[in-house]
Each structure stands twice: as C-alpha cells, then as structure tokens.
Structure 1
Amino acid sequence: MKTRLSRRDALLLPLAAGLSAATAAETSKRAGARPLNMAKGFNLPDQAPARAGRIAREETLRQLYGLGMTHVRLPAVAEYVLAPFSGPATISSALDDLDRAIERLLGIGYSVSIDLHPGSDFNASHQRDPQSTHRALLEGWPVLAKRIGKWPQERIFAELLNEPATTDDLWRPFVEQLATAVRAILSKTYILVGPAPDHRIEALASWRPFADDRIVYVCHFYDPMMFTHQGATWDKSAPWGRGWGVPFPSAAGDPTLLALSRAAEKEGDSGLAGELRNMAVHAWDAGAISAQFAQLGRWSAQHSAPVIVNEFGVVKWKAKRADRLAWLAATRAAVEAQGFGWAHWDYDTSFGLLDDSGAIDQGVILALLGGKTRSVAPSVSATSPMTTGSDSGTK
C-alpha cells in the first residue's frame, strides 16, 4: 500500500521499527522505508460509528501499547460517512465518534490510520455502478479529510478505501484521481492505497507507483485461505468456512490435506474437496510465505515504494492453536524482513488479539511481537487536535 521517496525521509525511521540498527539501515535502503510509526499494529473496528458494547477497554488498549503495539488501523464505515448512503445527522454523528476514537488513541500514544471501510451496501453499489460510487468518494473524502486535518499529520494517515469491490483497471486510474483530491486538503498527510479488489500481493507488485512522495501502498495477506479462513461463518458460499483441521505448515502432497479432501468428497462437498486438493499442490510453510513477500520487497525496493500489510490473521475457531500461532509468527517475520509495516486483523472478534475472556492472548502477542515488548507505556499529555504541526490545509 508508493511513490518515490526522498533519501532523507527513508533514513529517518524505518517502518520496521525495533529492528537492529544495521538491519534497519539495510531495510531503509532496500525497501524505501518511511518516517512513520506504522511498524506494529492492529485493526480496531466498531468505533466509527461507535457500536454499543463494542468500545475497546482503555486498560486493554494501554496494555497493548505497553507491550509494543504502535499503530491502530481505525475503520470508518463508508455507509455512515458518505452522503449517498446516509443523511447529514448520521454522517455528523459518525464523524464525531471518529474524532473521539482518534483523540483517545493518540492520547495513549498510537499512530492512527483512518481506513474508509465499506460494508455490503457500498460494495454492491461499487459493483453495480462504479462511476456513481466513485463520485461519492470524490465528494465524501474531502469532508473526511477536513476532520483528519485537525490532527498531527505525523501521527495520522488516510487510507482511501479498503478492498475496493471493483476491477483494478477501473480502480487504479480513479484512485490516483482520488488521492490528488485528498492531497489538495491534506498536503502532508501520508495517504494509503492498494489494488482492487482484495489488495493482493501480486496485484500490488504489478502497479505503477504514483507521482506523490507521501503514498504508502497497502496489501492484505490471508494465504492459504483454506487454512486462515477455516470455520469462517460470514460467507456461506465459501468452501473454507466448512473446513476444519487444516494444518500449517503443510507439505506438497500433504497427507492430512488429501485425507480431508477425500472425506469432503465422500460427504458430497466437492467445493471443499477441491480447495483442499489445491492447497496440497504446494508446500505452505514459513519459506513459502517469505517467498511471497520477497516478490513484493523487490517491487518496493525498485520503486522506493513503502508498503504496509494492513490485514493478516487466522480465524481462531477451527485452526489448531499451535498452527495459528506458527502462521502468525511466520507472516510477521516475512513482513518485517522486507521492512514493511503491519496491522493484524483484528482486535477482539474472530481473528482477535484477545481470548474468549476478553484478556490479551499472550500467545498471539508473542507470535506478533517476537518476544520484544516494552515494559511501560509512556504517558502522552497532548490529546486534543493541534494547529501547530497539523495538516488542516491552512497555515
């Protein structure tokens, strides 16, 4: 999820903060690292608009910051902040909720990415009528940008749209136009963009970077879906939701996968059986994941184009716990090896950082932070919007 970057910027602070000085210097040269604190983060949905019973506990957010999390990706639901989908009162209320969430997170010490996150209504519109949906984005983002512009530009970032429900041949030229419109309001804020429809690694690696030196390029990673999404309940048509016992790591021709495939075939579930066979074609282990990110690392280095992996995770219901933790650790290590930032999906739902009791899952934290944690979260006194140093577009 970039354009060309000045060497001065690249040397200030790598995205992969916390690496050794030698590794950080090499990462900066190789992957075009940005002077941003987007190194280690998580997604925090349901805050904008605020959903009853879903506001994150202050103590838990402070504990996560103290452990070493530095960045929160804060989804703002598109249908609640764009005029074609909601009226002025609803939009105002959602933006007020967004302000409260930003203030709270900045006050703890996090940097924050505002992610315009569409729901099913927006996505249906985007598929049915991309031109009118693009007009809605061009009209709605300036309103959102003015809210973002109240806050310190070095700690808040603008992500233009999560997983656009369109084709990249339509999205790529439009999002450059959208980024230009947002840049007219947010002159210094880093803007985050990724390819349609799913922000996949290979799609991003085929992109031509923008002519803007404050773009961060977004990708998401959930491969192999048969492992990471086994037991997912939200898409009844997806075969992986019917899966269970899918292992990680797995070998090419893995006997467990092939046995599960045969069992699914006997049950008459040819879709599930086929997905399991497809996964068994290749080995899925830490090396396979590393190779995928190395491909994107070469693109990033070639273009001095910083990248953040703004979603990755494993549904925790059916995957074996040890396998889930192994996948998280392997993915985090592969991402950091390329100097990319990351944000785990998500905070406390089906992929969450928290266990079923609402406590921080120490195994997940260890997999994500590699045992390198801070002991104390520093207090931050400046929690209100700032004019000096902010990016409101006025001087």
Structure 2
Amino acid sequence: MRARRRRGLALGAGLALWLLACAAAEAMPLRRGVALSRWFEASAGAPVSAAELRALRAAGFDHVRIPVDPVSLGWSPRRGPKLDDARLRAAIDAALAAGLDAIVDLHPREQTKQAIERGGEWADGYVALWKALAAEWKTLPTQRVAFELFNEPGFYGWTGGLAWSRYQQRLVAAVRGVDRERVLIVSGRKGGSLEGLVELAPLDDDKLIYSFHYYLPYVFTHQGASWMRGDEWTTAGHWRGVRYPAKAARARLPHTDGAVGRERARDEIADYFRDGWDRERIAAQWRPLREWAGKHKVRVHCGEFGAIREGVDPGSRYRWIGDVRALAEAEGWGWSVWNYADDFGLTANSNTTGAPRGALEPAALRALGLDARGQGRPDATHTRGESKPPEPKQGAR
C-alpha cells in the first residue's frame, strides 16, 4: 500500500512539473525563431533595423535569438562583471516593440570558451557576469525575454560531461539567485549537440528549455566552408556540389577542391550516400532525444540549424531546412534557424560584406512553414521519428 502511495505521489509530482512546463511554454512559446548573428559578435555586422524586425514578425517569426560575444561588449574577468550593453538593450527593446520575443544568447568566441573550460578566473568571472546581468536585466519582461547561458559548450573528453554539468549548474544558480522566474536556455556539451544533450541529467528547475544544435551531415550543410578546410573531423570544407537528399546527389555527383586527401574525402562522401541522408535518416538520429525528452518531461528547442548558401543548390538547401523544421514541429519542439542574413542567411542578398541584405526569400519562408501572410501553415508531410563534431559555423561570423 505504501509503495503504491509513493508511486502515486511520484506520478503526481511529475504531472505537476509537466503542467508547470506547459504553462511556461504558453507564456513564452518560442516556436519559430531566427538568429540575428554578427550584430553583437566579434565580427560585427550592420545593425538590424526596426523595419527589418517588423518584417520578420510579419513573415511569421515569433522570436529572435541575439548572439552576444561578451568580450566584444567589454567584459573580461579583470574588468569585472559588466557589459557595455546600451546598444544591446536598445536592440532587445526594438525586437519587443516589433512583436518579437527575444533570446539573449551569450555567445563567447572560441578562445574565451576554452579559457572558461580551463577553470580559474575566466570560469569564475563568467559566473559572476551572469549574476550581474541577471540583476541588471531583471526589469526585462519575464514572459518575453529568455536568457541562453552558454552557446555551444565544448567540454570534450572523458571528464567533460561531469565538468560541464557542474559548471552549468553554477550558471543557473547565479541567475536564480536574482531572478527565479526567467526562462533559461541550457544545453549539453560537445558543441551543444544532440549527443551532448541526451547524456545530461536534467536540472531541478521547471523554467528551463533544453536546446540542441543540428547541422548534420556537415558534408552537405558546411560544404565549401573556408573555416572548415583542414578540420580533422570532416572534409566538408573541401566539397562542392553536394545535394540533398542523398538520392538527388547521385544524379549529379559532387566534387572536391582537390586540396584534401582522396581516400579520406571518398570515405566521407561514401558514408553520405550509404546512410541515404534524407528526412527519415534525420528522424532516426533524433529518436534518442525524443525518448530522453519524454522520459524527463522537459521542453526541447532546436536552437540552431541551417545550411551554408554559397555554391549550394538552393533546392537542396531548402529541402534540408524544411525537413529539419518539419521534424522539430512534429515533435512539438520550437526552433531558431541560423541565420538571418549572413552566409547561412535567408535573405536574397545574404552575405558577410555589409551590403544591403534584401528581402526574405519566398523559398525560405516556404521551407520554414510560413506563408505570405506571416502565419505558420501545417505541413502534411510531417513525420515523427527519431561523433565528436567540430564547431562548424565558428568562422562564419
């Protein structure tokens, strides 16, 4: 009898947590978003105008993700826990005024992340920074602004999982000591990947969203990326003309730039064909995450996904984006596509040169399940389904 009562109490507690998570989801749905990269990062680009923000809202996006490199805004452990954030606050206000919710994403550059991972003053200083920001930003509307604590943590290696789990708990505690109601976005290690997330033990906090980033297969999504050339884990930067799905690539075979070992390149593209990359393959990869989320009753968000533009077949690119978006929605997960108007962008003139960005491409809106009236439209082809990766887009910014 006691055992049944304990099981009943446990089920009741689980149901209560699930209902709280649902309530939080209703308060801040974060269903369809886009990253405004290079605005507040090291490779700063042109500011996003109020008119552009209104156009994003009219297109059907409900939130923007604003990546922020804290060093570029003046932070260092020795300087102390503060940012020169007047422009950032103005950007957040502009997004809210346009009807968009906002994810403020602390997005340290690679050398900063490595310094934090080594511990010491950088790790302690970053915790202190979040404590100070939580106090300073507490006036931001709780139901409309979420904080993403650490973009794409690395923490590879045998002890990395435990080290990252403990450090992320410190970050959450730093914010919660000041702001108990804010939605916080957390992630797994290994570059914020699906693999890193499913090994994470969820925290005892009902206002967390668990994010993962998805760019597989790199040989398609990062083909020709200059910053990927010479990467030890993939030959993606050397490939050209890779199409998606894999069966489409067979009709027009891809080629390399000739600057990579033939055998290594051949093996990776052979894997692409053998695995038959398509929507079903992606769904199968996601199965462990769906099971993990169901087991722990937590809210999941596909915080980044996208494919490079330059030299890539547009039809293939938007088929891949459409498949990932549709699968996320089929699971009930929100998403934020990478990115607005840079080298993974969605605008007609997406670039990193600072030239006029142009309007959102109709093909991009269709791939993202949006129509001309800015409304999400149901996709009849939704299906349920279900590595140490590089940090692939690091040089894209």
How does the TM-score come out when normalised to structure 2?
Answer: 0.80
Identity of aligned residues (%): 26
**Structure 1 counterpart of 2:89:** 99
Which of 168, 186, 190 pairs up with 1:193?
Answer: 186
CA distance in structure 1 between the aligned counterparts of 2:15 and 2:230, rounded to whole angstroms: 41
What displacement does 1:305 show?
Answer: 0.5
What displacement does 1:53 show?
Answer: 5.4
Cα 1:13–1:162 change in 2 (3 A) is: closer
What displacement does 1:248 show?
Answer: 0.6
Secondary structure, aligned partner of 1:308 = strand
CA contact (8 A) 1:77 1:116 kept: yes
CA distance in structure 1 between the aligned counterparts of 2:73 and 2:45, rounded to whole angstroms: 21
CA contact (8 A) 2:241 2:313 kept: yes
1:245-274 Cα deviation digits (max 9, x unpaired): 11110149x7469x547x778974444333
What displacement does 1:4 show?
Answer: 8.4
CA distance in structure 1 between the aligned counterparts of 2:347 and 2:17, rounded to whole angstroms: 39
Question: Does residue 42 of the first structure (1) align with residue 34 of the second (2)?
Answer: yes
**Structure 1 counterpart of 2:289:** 296
Cα 1:146–1:284 change in 2 (3 A) is: same
Which of 60, 63, 67 pairs up with 2:59?
Answer: 67
**Structure 1 counterpart of 2:105:** 115
**Structure 2 counterpart of 1:141:** 130
CA distance in structure 2 between the aligned counterparts of 1:235 and 1:266, rounded to whole angstroms: 12
CA contact (8 A) 2:38 2:45 kept: no
CA distance in structure 2 between the aligned counterparts of 1:92 and 1:4, rounded to whole angstroms: 40
What displacement does 1:223 show?
Answer: 0.7
What displacement does 1:139 show?
Answer: 1.3
**Structure 1 counterpart of 2:140:** 151
**Structure 1 counterpart of 2:171:** 178
* Alignment-mate amino acid for residue 143 of structure 1: A
Which protein, 1 or 2, shows the higher relative CO under an 8 Å CA cutoff with sep ≥ 6? 1
1:203-260 Cα deviation digits (max 9, x unpaired): 21222110111111010000111100012122332321111111110149x7469x54
* Alignment-mate amino acid for residue 141 of structure 2: P
CA contact (8 A) 2:50 2:95 kept: no
What displacement does 1:369 show?
Answer: 2.3
Segments of 5+ residues of structure 1 without an aligned counterpart are: 15-33, 376-395
Task: Give the alignment's Cα RMSD to 1 decimal.
Answer: 2.8
How does the TM-score come out when normalised to structure 1?
Answer: 0.80
CA contact (8 A) 2:77 2:121 kept: no
What displacement does 1:113 show?
Answer: 0.8
Cα 1:100–1:51 change in 2 (3 A) is: farther
**Structure 1 counterpart of 2:217:** 224
CA contact (8 A) 1:4 1:303 kept: no
CA contact (8 A) 1:118 1:161 kept: yes
**Structure 2 counterpart of 1:6:** 17
**Structure 1 counterpart of 2:364:** 364
Which of 335, 340, 350 pairs up with 2:333?
Answer: 340
Give 1:236-385 correspondences, 5 Å limit.
236-238=229-231, 239-251=235-247, 255=250, 260=254, 268-356=261-349, 358-371=358-371, 373-374=373-374
Cα 1:236–1:85 change in 2 (3 A) is: farther
Q: How many residues align?
A: 348
CA distance in structure 1 between the aligned counterparts of 2:193 and 2:44, rounded to whole angstroms: 33
* Alignment-mate amino acid for residue 141 of structure 1: W
CA distance in structure 1 between the aligned counterparts of 2:82 and 2:15, rounded to whole angstroms: 35
1:288-342 Cα deviation digits (max 9, x unpaired): 1122233312211211110111110000112210000100110000001111110
Secondary structure, aligned partner of 2:240 = coil
1:10-36 Cα deviation digits (max 9, x unpaired): 55475xxxxxxxxxxxxxxxxxxx642
Question: Does residue 77 of the first structure (1) align with residue 66 of the second (2)?
Answer: no
**Structure 2 counterpart of 1:164:** 153
